[in-house]
Structure 1
């Protein structure tokens, strides 16, 4: 069963390979410039170059990821660094130089928020510290990006405002709901959030960053231009298509399991909220299926995706998928097989994609309490010997959770 869980995950990754997804949706015209940013940027760009031949391009990847023989700028993720700043400045310079007759192909995937960082009204150090605090606060990706967009000269549609060219974007979604304005903080897409809403996020999580607050307060008073809004005429120059989503990933695993003769159901591709609360929900659902056969009959596989959050108060290491599994272990009354992983191959700061729960983990008799208290899900699954290590997968289609209810 453990091998089947892993195979379902790897089959899903193979079926949603960014190269193939991109190749199928490339426009018929030859672009004058290709911009690629995010964790799937290299295979997406390789698809464009194989289709069009050599064209001018700019590629930005997370440090440690393979560039597939392409010229690339490597920057830090999820917290931006100096290379993120250089990459964003280079892209803005390229965009400003284009004429209204030129066409840009933008290949955008998750991770772009950190990889293109052009701070507005704050220092890079402030932006880095605020990003880190937001990620530890338990804020949703929509809340995090509302703040990042309003402290940026490239996010929230400002990349589109920086150019006169026509832009066609192909997007790989790593956000629940697949909102283009949230993927990589929407550099070419309209932003429905405001300075006031971004400021409210800081208030909600008790984050006191003086530079950021001063800038957001000025914007909320109407002293600064807003991000690109849905009614802006610049949007006449934008077209886009979602080429890959979390639902594609989950359906690929479901279809594989069905071909193997198993019953499998996708619960949702947009589960969010706190990882521990999400684990409790899954545990209660498993309990109802086991006890009463409702709302679904056993045996079957349950698949879910989306993106959970973790409020970090301890000193341990881990990620939202490891935290989910650890809390699931704590809530379940009887053992089961489960796998949870980040499709990009790196869950939080754990350096693992995720982990597996098996009856063998329960047999060890480990107490989840101290590990949960320290947010040390990595420590727990290291002790259990059930970490799933893949290295960077070259894609980013959000979280993957698979439970077998027997």
Structure 2
């Protein structure tokens, strides 16, 4: 009997958020892993760094799910990571892992995270006392087929077609913006100002579309998410010269709130001043949610049942 006949085919459906939803802690308990993940998210670490750590604290991430079964595997991936690296989406349960225990330990060092139990586990692995995650070229992946069926780029292209149908020139800036939401907002604000002042690099009217995944180094005690934070800083940098803009997490949940994101209006700055809202102070407290809630600018969609990363649109009239 052939291996296919004996073991059959395992169909694996993978989407963004799988790192949290598909959880089998290895070397530590679940509460510790949850606390570590929250600390990494608040530290400003990017998704590649976060998932390098996750892969080495899991019995199924980083290709270990594929190693755990003799079946042939057909895995279909919906991407929520910049660049659509399958090894990063949901921490790549069926994909070869190029990261190591030592690299995971270096992430903790970079962001000053202690977690002694986690460190002990990763140090054991770095010394060779624990098995590494399956690496590229290993024979087990000959029976694995991984396919990308949805991505942030596909989402942006659909949005581009929508705006073009409304008669607007629409430009996709990138599907893989990363870094601090504050700096990403500064870049977009500078671009809007250049378009208005010089018609460069695009003549108005134009719709700017971008995706990827921003991060936020949390220092305050407010509520928000990377998309609300992005819009708050965009409003701050543009000031009186506001713009129509929307930023949202495509899964319908932005950060630690029930909002998918928010909508910025050209007169948001004036509205805030009339209400006595100190936007800069709220942003320094990481409370973009409070700001947009007070203005009625939150975007509430509920869970969308898919996750294709962040979506941003700016309409420059």
TM-score (norm 1): 0.75
Aligned counterparts, 1:115-264, within 5 A: 115-264=21-170
Shift of 1:100: 5.1
Shift of 1:241: 1.1
User: Following the alignment from structure 1 to structure 2, what is the Cα–Cα distance between the partners of residues 120 and 171?
Assistant: 24
Unaligned residue ranges in structure 2 (runs of 5+): none
Deviation per residue, 1:353-402 (Å, 9 max, x gap): 11101123222123211111110010000011111100000110000000
Residues 99 and 165, structure 1, Cα contact 8 Å, conserved in 2 = no
Secondary structure of the structure 1 residue equivalent to 2:214: coil
Shift of 1:145: 0.4
User: Following the alignment from structure 2 to structure 1, what is the Cα–Cα distance between the partners of residues 126 and 252?
Assistant: 38
The reply on whether 1:390 has 2:301 as its aligned counterpart is yes
Output the aligned Cα RMSD: 1.1
Residues 299 and 404, structure 1, Cα contact 8 Å, conserved in 2 = yes
Instruction: State which of 238, 242, 247 in structure 2 corresponds to 1:335.
Output: 242
The reply on whether 1:313 has 2:313 as its aligned counterpart is no
User: Following the alignment from structure 2 to structure 1, what is the Cα–Cα distance between the partners of residues 279 and 203?
Assistant: 29
User: Following the alignment from structure 1 to structure 2, what is the Cα–Cα distance between the partners of residues 284 and 100?
Assistant: 60
TM-score (norm 2): 0.95
User: Following the alignment from structure 2 to structure 1, what is the Cα–Cα distance between the partners of residues 17 and 243?
Assistant: 33
Shift of 1:131: 0.8
> After TM superposition, what 4+ stretches of structure 1 lie above 2 angstroms from structure 2?
98-101
State the aligned residue count.
309
Q: Which residue of 2 aligns with 1:377?
A: 288
Q: Which residue of 2 aligns with 1:7?
A: none
Q: Which residue of 2 aligns with 1:46?
A: none
Q: Which residue of 2 aligns with 1:346?
A: 253
User: Following the alignment from structure 2 to structure 1, what is the Cα–Cα distance between the partners of residues 247 and 153?
Assistant: 15
For CA contacts below 8 A with separation 6 or more, give which structure has more relative contact order.
Answer: 2
Secondary structure of the structure 1 residue equivalent to 2:149: strand
Q: Which residue of 1 aligns with 2:182?
A: 276
CA distance 1:297–1:269, shift in 2 (3 Å): same
Deviation per residue, 1:211-238 (Å, 9 max, x gap): 1101111111122111110011100010
User: Following the alignment from structure 2 to structure 1, what is the Cα–Cα distance between the partners of residues 242 and 220?
Assistant: 27
Residues 95 and 146, structure 2, Cα contact 8 Å, conserved in 1 = no
Deviation per residue, 1:45-94 (Å, 9 max, x gap): xxxxxxxxxxxxxxxxxxxxxxxxxxxxxxxxxxxxxxxxxxxxxxxxxx
Secondary structure of the structure 1 residue equivalent to 2:215: coil
User: Following the alignment from structure 1 to structure 2, what is the Cα–Cα distance between the partners of residues 100 and 194?
Assistant: 33
Deviation per residue, 1:120-161 (Å, 9 max, x gap): 111112111101101111110111000000000010000000
Unaligned residue ranges in structure 1 (runs of 5+): 1-97
